[in-house]
Amino acid sequence: MESYIQISKINDFVFCPLSIYFHSIYEGFNSGTYHSSAQTKGKIKHENIDTGEYSTAKRYMQGISVYSSEYNLCGKIDIYDKETESLIERKNKVEKIYDGYRYQLYAQMFCLEEMGYKVDKLFVHSLSDNKRYPIEKPSKKELAEFEKIIEDINDFTVSKYTRVSKNKCEHCIYKELCFKE
């Protein structure tokens, strides 16, 4: 039996597949023991979504659980605007649109569509500067890339891991623990 892929882990996997391994070890710990200050700030800013307090307007679905049987995904969305059929993923500070952000949005979109919702627009929203970045719906090429990431997540084993990039390793919160340095 396959286990579900948590949508929130897709971005982490794209950053570094091994970070998922370390993250799973620390999930039971207080996040203060391993989160960077930027991650802690992001988590605090995200709380109003998690508690459904972003808005009281009925047009917004916020922090709801979603699921896709086609891709074996589960997770939560940040915001879905029913009036504009827009899906919005919020990040603390967006300096660049990373592939992991797009794949995370695609996963949420596929889940919502499988649940019967129409998704017309995708956005990444930067909380620190209140900027919103439109994300195109996936082309055939991007869909193939997304499906390859899902396949890679399902097939990942720590023993076959090779370092992604030295630059990423230098910015990883698990760098002191990583045995692949």
Tell me the domains of the chain and their CATH numbers: 5-170 (3.90.320.10)
**pLDDT tier at 108, thresholds 50, 70, 90:** very high
Please, what sign has the CA dihedral across residues 24, 29, 33, 37? positive
Q: Is the pTM of this model over 0.75?
A: yes
Distance (Å, rounded) from C-alpha 6 to C-alpha 3?
9
Main-chain phi, psi angles of 73, to 5 degrees? -115, 150
Would you state the pLDDT for residue 35? 47
Average pLDDT across the chain, whole number: 84
Q: Of the ranges 32-41, 63-72, 158-167, which is most confident? A: 63-72
Sign of CA dihedral 73, 76, 79, 83: positive
CB atoms within 10 A of CB 46: 17
- Asked if the model's pLDDT at residue 76 lies above 60, the reply is yes
**Secondary structure letter of residue 92 according to DSSP:** S
